[in-house]
Amino acid sequence: MEIRYAKPCDIDLISEYDEHVSKDEMKNAIAMKRIILLFIDGEFEGWLRFNLFWDNIPFMNLLFILEEQRGKGYGKKLVEFWEREMAEQGFRFVLTSSLSDEEGQFFYRKLGYTDRGALVLPDEPLEIIFYKNLFEING
């Protein structure tokens, strides 16, 4: 297993799967080291993309593991890598979110994230905001 920041040469690979952002925005995210890739036996199997909420709080926008690799602990490994990186950069806590009708909410709670609020958009399920204190990371 290899976890690393995306490089400019990864843009086409990521774009093939991540349709939530434009290629230009993806290029910016790669340049700012805000996309982390997962490879298993040399094969691309997932990624984590984040930004800075209010320009100073790491917010995980997307965690995606390809279907055949789900349930094997790889998502947890990506999140733990990201949390360590954010702690090393001096951030005290991180945020993420999940729709109330998605299984992701249970995953984040299992990793020690706590509910801190919600957002309601028209015609969308409740978006739950999660918080984690990085100084409470175990291991």
CATH number for the domain harbouring residue 6: 3.40.630.30
Domain count across the chain? 1
| Domain encompassing residue 111 | 2-136
> 139: pLDDT confidence band, cut at 50, 70 and 90?
very low
pLDDT, tens only, 78-130: 999 999 999 999 999 999 999 999 999 999 999 999 999 999 999 999 999 99
Q: What is the pTM of this model?
A: 0.92
The CA distance from 84 to 134, in Å, is 8
Amino acid identity, residue 64? F
Name the residue among 121, 56, 101, 109 with its Cα closest to residue 79.
109
Q: Which residues, 6+ apart, have CB-to-CB distance to 110 below 8 Å?
A: none
Q: Taking a C-beta distance cutoff of 8 angstroms, is the pair 134, 93 a contact? A: yes
